[in-house]
């Protein structure tokens, strides 16, 4: 019993430490709260963004095991304090790659987000990856854009929310035209972000001055920071991600009575911004909440992810036919051939995790997912490489030839001179997202042979 209490105390301590470590200097300064008064009203803004199709983290590395729709919903149901005036928004860049699998993922992500009950979703450059027709078909998503016109879609330019505590909140959303023209979106027209906001604010005020004006932005951090200065805007929250290795500065910035915050990469953390309004005065508290294994999974979202998995599995089997019909000339000698002459190296390899990389995928029900197979098998999607467990059982796992190159010729007529090339092979798979602690000096000794 005592042990148990001690343990949960430590865990709670850890949770707090993580929150405290997240970059947040301004917020703590403001946590010496004024005493509550009858004129004080609170708004809790919860924000996500930059998801890049990340439905569920891959689990390759504990440090990066954050995010995903199961935990996002789990967080909404059990972490967000109840009874608050809540504004729930997303900063855009939901989709990742223009592939069939990318599109399927996008569909599931949209369906998950529709169930989460967002108040506003910013349109980012990535969100137009599959075109406006695709977006139109995704129901229940409150897209919002104050400076963009999209053919065939008519998202509102702003939103007004009124809450039981009397607060009236206006939400606007702008994106940087430079991001869109670069990626060649032809079905949209855009206005300068600052101009669009300045034009809309008087129109909004005509219906009664809002207590809080929240501007969602989709652009580079430094451009978004400038928009904090627009008269009448209280809160700016920004999103935009270049690619999955983009390190995003999540530091919140206070400017007088105003605040700037930034969405985390890959939906890994949820942002919380607590706005307290005392008449003309406002104070802010900000924190980023890690969606790690301490956050409970939501069963409904797990079921939705299982459905996605089944669809990917079906797609995998569908594409097998075409792969089987292709030229299947042997390219790899395979580890069992190397073993005949390099018994020592083979024994070391067999004890390493490389030799069990395929079993790892089976354990997590992902042995049909192309996004995982490419690093956990030999030569996936390369001529002569892994196709499936049934077709090419001899090419499971990260074999010798993933580091030493295809060596069929060598295994028939051995010649040296290529050993050192293997040192450069690690970076194909040990990339920061999947292996954040990778360092050749510490990793190589674990598999030295």
Q: Is 90 left (phi over 0), alpha (psi -120 to 50) or beta?
A: beta
Shortest distance, position 94 Cβ to ligand HEC, whole Å: 18
Shortest distance, position 393 Cβ to ligand HEC, whole Å: 17
Nearer to ligand HEC, 29 or 341 (CB): 341
Nearer to ligand HEC, 326 or 423 (CB): 423
Instruction: Report residue 204 as tokens.
Output: 């909004």
Shortest distance, position 444 Cβ to ligand HEC, whole Å: 4
Nearer to ligand HEC, 127 or 335 (CB): 335
How many helices (H) does the chain have, and how many strands (E)?
16, 14
Nearer to ligand HEC, 220 or 394 (CB): 394
Shortest distance, position 56 Cβ to ligand HEC, whole Å: 8
With a CB cutoff of 8 Å and minimum separation 6, the contacts of 206 are: none
Instruction: Report residue 183 as tokens.
Output: 């990626």
C-alpha closest to that of 364 among 349, 355, 376, 354 = 376
Judged by the rule CB under 6 A, the positions of this chain that interact with ligand HEC are: 58-61, 333, 335, 337-338, 340-342, 345-346, 349, 353-354, 356-357, 360-361, 364, 366, 369, 371-372, 374-376, 398, 400-404, 407, 410-411, 414-420, 422-423, 425-426, 428-431, 434-435, 437-438, 440, 443-444, 446-447, 449
Shortest distance, position 75 Cβ to ligand HEC, whole Å: 21
Nearer to ligand HEC, 52 or 233 (CB): 52
Coil, strand, or helix at residue 286? Answer: strand
* Residue 424: DSSP 8-state: G
Shortest distance, position 51 Cβ to ligand HEC, whole Å: 15
Nearer to ligand HEC, 290 or 376 (CB): 376
C-alpha closest to that of 265 among 247, 286, 292 = 247
Query: What stretch of H or E contains 90?
Result: strand 85-90
Nearer to ligand HEC, 250 or 361 (CB): 361
Nearer to ligand HEC, 17 or 343 (CB): 343
Instruction: Report residue 76 as tokens.
Output: 């909404």
Instruction: Report residue 1 as tokens.
Output: 């019993």
Place of tokens 């059990």: 78
Shortest distance, position 62 Cβ to ligand HEC, whole Å: 8
Instruction: Report residue 385 as tokens.
Output: 């490489």
* Residue 207: DSSP 8-state: T
Shortest distance, position 304 Cβ to ligand HEC, whole Å: 16
Alpha helices in 33-99 (DSSP H): 69-78
Coil, strand, or helix at residue 291? Answer: coil
Nearer to ligand HEC, 255 or 353 (CB): 353
- Rounded-to-integer distance, Cα 159 and Cα 200, Å: 11
Query: What stretch of H or E contains 350?
Result: helix 343-351
User: 229 and 255 in contact (C-beta within 8 Å)?
Assistant: yes
Shortest distance, position 302 Cβ to ligand HEC, whole Å: 15
Nearer to ligand HEC, 173 or 375 (CB): 375
Shortest distance, position 278 Cβ to ligand HEC, whole Å: 48
User: 68 and 293 in contact (C-beta within 8 Å)?
Assistant: no
- Rounded-to-integer distance, Cα 205 and Cα 209, Å: 5
Shortest distance, position 448 Cβ to ligand HEC, whole Å: 8
Nearer to ligand HEC, 123 or 333 (CB): 333
Coil, strand, or helix at residue 255? Answer: strand
* Residue 86: DSSP 8-state: E
- Rounded-to-integer distance, Cα 26 and Cα 363, Å: 44
Instruction: Report residue 202 as tokens.
Output: 């008087």
């Amino acid at each position: 019993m005592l042990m148990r209490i001690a343990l949960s105390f430590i865990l709670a301590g850890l949770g707090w430490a993580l929150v405290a470590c997240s970059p947040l200097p301004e917020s703590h300064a403001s946590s010496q709260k004024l005493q509550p008064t009858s004129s004080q009203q609170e708004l809790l803004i919860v924000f996500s963004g930059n998801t890049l199709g990340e439905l569920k983290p891959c689990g390759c590395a504990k440090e990066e095991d954050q995010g995903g729709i199961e935990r996002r919903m789990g967080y909404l149901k059990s972490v967000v304090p109840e009874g608050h005036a809540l504004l729930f928004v997303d900063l855009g860049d939901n989709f990742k790659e223009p592939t069939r699998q990318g599109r399927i993922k996008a569909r599931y992500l949209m369906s998950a987000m529709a169930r989460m009950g967002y108040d506003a979703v910013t349109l980012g450059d990535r969100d137009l990856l599959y075109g406006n027709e695709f977006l139109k078909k995704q129901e229940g998503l409150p897209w919002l854009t104050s400076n963009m016109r999209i053919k065939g879609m008519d998202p509102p330019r702003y939103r007004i929310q009124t809450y039981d505590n009397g607060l009236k909140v206006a939400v606007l959303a702008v994106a940087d035209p430079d991001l869109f023209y670069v990626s060649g979106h032809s079905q949209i027209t855009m206005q300068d972000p600052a101009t669009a906001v300045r034009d809309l604010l008087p129109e909004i005020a005509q219906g009664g001055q809002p207590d809080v004006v929240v501007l969602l932005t989709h652009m580079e951090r430094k451009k978004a920071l400038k928009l904090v200065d627009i008269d009448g805007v209280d809160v700016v929250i920004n999103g935009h991600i270049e690619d999955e290795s983009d390190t995003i500065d999540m530091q919140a910035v206070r400017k007088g009575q105003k605040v700037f915050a930034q969405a985390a990469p890959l939906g890994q953390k949820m942002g919380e911004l607590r706005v307290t309004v005392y008449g003309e005065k406002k104070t802010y508290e900000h924190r980023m909440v890690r969606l790690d294994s301490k956050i409970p999974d939501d069963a409904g979202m797990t079921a939705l992810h299982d459905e996605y998995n089944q669809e990917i599995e079906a797609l995998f089997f569908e594409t097998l036919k075409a792969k089987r019909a292709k030229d299947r000339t042997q390219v790899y000698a395979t580890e069992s051939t190397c073993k005949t002459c390099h018994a020592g190296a083979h024994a070391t390899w067999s004890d390493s995790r490389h030799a069990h990389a395929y079993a790892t995928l089976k354990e997590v029900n992902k042995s049909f997912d192309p996004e995982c197979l490419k690093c956990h098998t030999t030569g996936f999607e390369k001529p002569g490489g892994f196709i499936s467990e049934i077709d090419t059982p001899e090419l499971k796992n990260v074999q010798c030839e993933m580091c030493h190159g295809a060596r069929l010729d060598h295994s028939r007529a051995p010649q040296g001179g290529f050993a050192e090339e293997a040192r450069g092979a690690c970076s194909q798979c040990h990339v920061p997202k999947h292996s954040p602690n990778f360092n050749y000096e510490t990793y190589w000794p674990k598999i030295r042979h």
